[in-house]
Amino acid sequence: MAVAGRSKWGLIWPFFVLLLFHSLAIYTFTRGFLLTRTELASFSHCSDLTNSPCSLAIYNPPPDETAQDRGCWTRPAVDRVVIIVLDALRFDFVAPSTFFKDKQPWMDKLRVLQKLASEEGFSARIFKAIADPPTTSLQRLKGLTTGGLPTFIDVGNSFGAPAIVEDNLIHQLVSNGKRVLMMGDDTWVQLFPDHFNTSYPYPSFNVKDLDTVDNGVIEHLLPSLHRKDWDVLIAHFLGVDHAGHIFGVDSSQMIQKLEQYNSILEEVVNVLKNQSGEGGLHENTFLIVMGDHGQTTNGDHGGGTAEEVETSLFAMSFQSPPASISSVFDSSFCHGDLDGQRLCISTFEQLDFAVTISALLGLPSPFGSIGRVNAELYALNARTWEGQATSASDCQLLSDLAAWKQNYVNALCINCWQVKRYIDLYSATSVIGLPSEDLHHVAQLYSQAQTKWPDTASSSCSRVGSPDNILDSLESSLQQQIDAYSEFLVSVAKLARSAWTEFDLLYMGLGFSCMLFSLVIHLLVIRRLSTLCQSYNNSLGIFDNYFSLVSAFLLVAIRAASFLSNSYILTEGSVASFLLSTTAIIRLWCSISKWKFPRDELLFLLLSTIIRHGIDTGMSKETSGSSFLFNFSKLIFHINEGGPFLMVLTDVLPMVLLSVLAFMLYRFLSGISCWIHFKYVLFIGTVCSYMLIGLHWISESNLMHISMRVQYTGRNLAPRVVYAIGFGLLLLSVLCQLFDNNRVQPTERLKVSALALLSSWSSTILILLGRQGPFAILIFIVAAWCIVRSWREQWTESNSRNMGVLIMNPIPVIQWSLLAVCLFFFTGHWCAFDGLRYGAAFIGFDHFNIIRQGLLLTIDTFGVSHILPILGIPLIIILQLQNSKKNVSEDNIFLNLTQAFLIYGLITATTTTFMIICVFIQRRHLMVWGLFAPKYVFDAVGLLLTDGLIFMASLYYY
Cα(922)–Cα(742) distance, rounded to whole angstroms?
56
Domains of the chain: 1-35+524-570+891-958 (no CATH), 46-384+397-499 (3.40.720.10), 572-803+817-884 (no CATH)
Cα(672)–Cα(679) distance, rounded to whole angstroms?
8
DSSP string for 175-241: HTT--EEEEEETHHHHHSTT--SEEEEE----TT-SSHHHHHHHHHHHHHTT-SS-SEEEEEE-HHH
Q: Which of 156-160, 341-345, 946-950, 954-958 has the highest mean pLDDT?
A: 946-950
Q: Which one is predicted more confidently, 840 or 617?
A: 840
Res. 499 pLDDT band, cuts 50 70 90: low
Asked whether the beta carbons of 71 and 362 are under 8 A apart, the reply is: yes
Alpha helices in 500-561 (DSSP H): 505-537, 546-561
Residues 6+ apart with CB under 8 A from 899: 526, 529, 530, 533, 542, 806, 807
Range 642-651 average pLDDT: 65
Smallest CA-to-CA distance from 828 within 694, 632, 697 is with 632
Cα(958)–Cα(956) distance, rounded to whole angstroms?
6
Cα(827)–Cα(625) distance, rounded to whole angstroms?
8
Smallest CA-to-CA distance from 232 within 385, 362, 75 is with 362
Query: 0.85 cut: is pTM over it?
Result: no
Query: In sequence order, what are the beta bridge partners of 233?
Result: 82, 181
Burial of 14 (0-12, 13-18, 19+ CB in 10 A): buried
pLDDT for position 742:
64
Residue 381 reports pLDDT greater than 70: yes
pLDDT for position 208:
79
pLDDT for position 688:
94
Lowest mean pLDDT, pick from 250-264, 465-479, 682-696, 833-847: 465-479
The whole-chain average pLDDT of the chain stands at: 83
DSSP designation for 161: P
Cα–Cα distances in angstroms (integers) from residue 707 to residues 695, 710, 715, in the given order: 13, 5, 12
Cα(811)–Cα(808) distance, rounded to whole angstroms?
9
Lowest mean pLDDT, pick from 129-138, 335-344, 553-562, 697-706: 697-706
Q: What is the pLDDT of residues 521-575, one digit of tens each?
A: 998 888 887 777 655 555 544 544 566 677 788 888 888 888 888 788 888 888 9
Using DSSP bridges, classify how beta strands 80-86 and 232-237 pair: parallel, antiparallel or unpaired. Answer: parallel
Query: In sequence order, what are the beta bridge partners of 486?
Result: none
Res. 488 pLDDT band, cuts 50 70 90: very high
pLDDT for position 549:
74
Res. 672 pLDDT band, cuts 50 70 90: confident
3-state helix, strand, coil in the chain (%, to 5): 65, 5, 30
Q: What is the pLDDT of residues 722-735, one digit of tens each?
A: 999 999 999 998 88
- 771, HSE (Cβ side, Cα atoms, 13 Å): 29
Cα(633)–Cα(651) distance, rounded to whole angstroms?
12
pLDDT for position 57:
40
How many C-beta atoms surround the C-beta of residue 755 within 10 A?
Answer: 25
Q: What is the pLDDT of residues 247-284, one digit of tens each?
A: 889 899 999 999 999 999 999 999 999 998 888 999 99
Smallest CA-to-CA distance from 572 within 938, 145, 95, 80 is with 938
Dmax (CA) for the chain in angstroms is 114
Asked whether the beta carbons of 510 and 916 are under 8 A apart, the reply is: no
DSSP string for 725-759: HHHHHHHHHHHHHHH------HHHHHHHHHHHHHH
Smallest CA-to-CA distance from 905 within 837, 813, 771, 798 is with 813
- End-to-end CA distance of the chain, in Å? 8
Residue 736 reports pLDDT greater than 70: yes
Q: What is the pLDDT of residues 196-212, one digit of tens each?
A: 999 999 988 777 788 99
Q: What is the pLDDT of residues 870-893, one digit of tens each?
A: 999 988 877 766 655 556 667 777
Cα(378)–Cα(404) distance, rounded to whole angstroms?
9
Cβ contacts of 5-8, under 8 Å, gap ≥ 24: 8/894, 8/958
Q: Which one is predicted more confidently, 94 or 557?
A: 94
Lowest mean pLDDT, pick from 73-87, 518-532, 698-712, 903-917: 698-712
Cα(158)–Cα(838) distance, rounded to whole angstroms?
12
771: left (phi over 0), alpha (psi -120 to 50) or beta: alpha
Residue 61 reports pLDDT greater than 60: no
Smallest CA-to-CA distance from 168 within 139, 197, 143 is with 143
Q: Which one is predicted more confidently, 706 or 217?
A: 217
Asked whether the beta carbons of 293 and 88 are under 8 A apart, the reply is: yes
How many C-beta atoms surround the C-beta of residue 391 within 10 A?
Answer: 10
Asked whether the beta carbons of 191 and 234 are under 8 A apart, the reply is: no
Range 588-596 average pLDDT: 79
DSSP designation for 390: B
Range 812-830 average pLDDT: 90
Res. 909 pLDDT band, cuts 50 70 90: very high
Using DSSP bridges, classify how beta strands 80-86 and 285-290 pair: parallel, antiparallel or unpaired. Answer: parallel
Using DSSP bridges, classify how beta strands 285-290 and 310-317 pair: parallel, antiparallel or unpaired. Answer: antiparallel
Residue 930 reports pLDDT greater than 80: no
Q: Which one is predicted more confidently, 617 or 821?
A: 821
Burial of 715 (0-12, 13-18, 19+ CB in 10 A): middle
Q: What is the pLDDT of residues 418-465, one digit of tens each?
A: 999 999 998 888 656 677 888 889 999 999 988 877 766 665 555 545
Q: Which residue type sits at 161?
A: A
Residue 666 reports pLDDT greater than 80: yes
